[in-house]
Structure 1
Amino acid sequence: MDDDRVWSFEKSLWTGDADHYRELVDDACLMVLPRPPFVLSGAEAIEAVANTPRWSDVTLSEGQVSRPQEGLIVIAYQAKASRDDETYAAHCTSTYRRLEHEVWRVVQHQQTPPLVNAAAEKTGA
């Protein structure tokens, strides 16, 4: 999968409907999300995300793509998403594995919202 397709694939996971999401996320997927229970696996991970409202717009930036071996793609990026009056930002990683020619599934996804500097918060900086 070339880089353009990688980013299109990833963006579709943020904006596509629940069936699209279920189709592209592997049953063995592990996820770390910034809300309880934080660590999710398999069908639990798929349903947790598939049953949340989809983002109407997402911008992926600072993207990096690694191909550590044949049939494995690891990406890292910053996401900025919005829907209605809600916005969300996070640093993310995803790992895809190839099942067969041109068939890829997400086997890992992680989101870390921007960290707030506690010292700056106390001083109002």
Structure 2
Amino acid sequence: MAITDEALWDMEKRLWTAPVDECEDSVADECLMVFGQAGILDRDFALAGMRAAPRWASLEMLDRKLARPGKTVAVLAYRACASREGAANHDVLCTSTYRGADDGWKLVQHQQTGA
């Protein structure tokens, strides 16, 4: 299943800014995420954390890179500068890996490292 680069970047941005109920279908059941303080999270724990915190009001994705090591795999790398009311700005380096299948493109990996 083909997807444009811009559609992948849009999907990634929605995972930061859209209501969780609107974007959770784009997270694969087997997804793993890594965050400095929280550690290694599976899909359920990651989505629970997303629901517990206010969504990001703004997001800049800088120094964007995209690699396609196969027809059904895409890797995004970027610097995220995010902000929301009542919180310090969030400045991190990120990678996300997506896989395409009959049910669409899904996030299978996301990692954030302090910038």
- Structure 2: 5+ residue stretches without partners: none
Runs of 4+ residues deviating >3 angstroms: none
Larger RCO: 1 or 2 (CA < 8 Å, sep 6+): 2
Aligned to 1:90: 92
Cα offset, 1:3, TM superposition: 1.6
User: Are 2:79 and 2:93, in contact at CA under 8 Å, matched by a contact in 1?
Assistant: yes
Report SS of the residue matched to 2:37: coil
Cα offset, 1:42, TM superposition: 3.0
Report SS of the residue matched to 2:24: helix
Aligned to 2:61: 60
What TM-score comes out, normalization by structure 1 length? Answer: 0.82
- Structure 1: 5+ residue stretches without partners: 115-125
Aligned-partner Cα distance in 1 for 2:107–2:51: 14
Q: Say which is worse superposed, 9-18 or 48-57, in terms of deviation.
A: 48-57
Aligned to 1:7: 9
Report SS of the residue matched to 2:9: helix
Q: Residue by residue, what CA displacement relative to the aligned partner does 1:14-67 show, whole Å, maximum 9, x if unpaired?
A: 00101123211111001101223x111132222222332100110001010011
Report SS of the residue matched to 2:105: strand
How many residues are aligned here? 112
Cα offset, 1:75, TM superposition: 0.7
User: Are 2:20 and 2:47, in contact at CA under 8 Å, matched by a contact in 1?
Assistant: no
Identity %: 37
The root-mean-square deviation of aligned C-alpha atoms, in Å, is 1.4
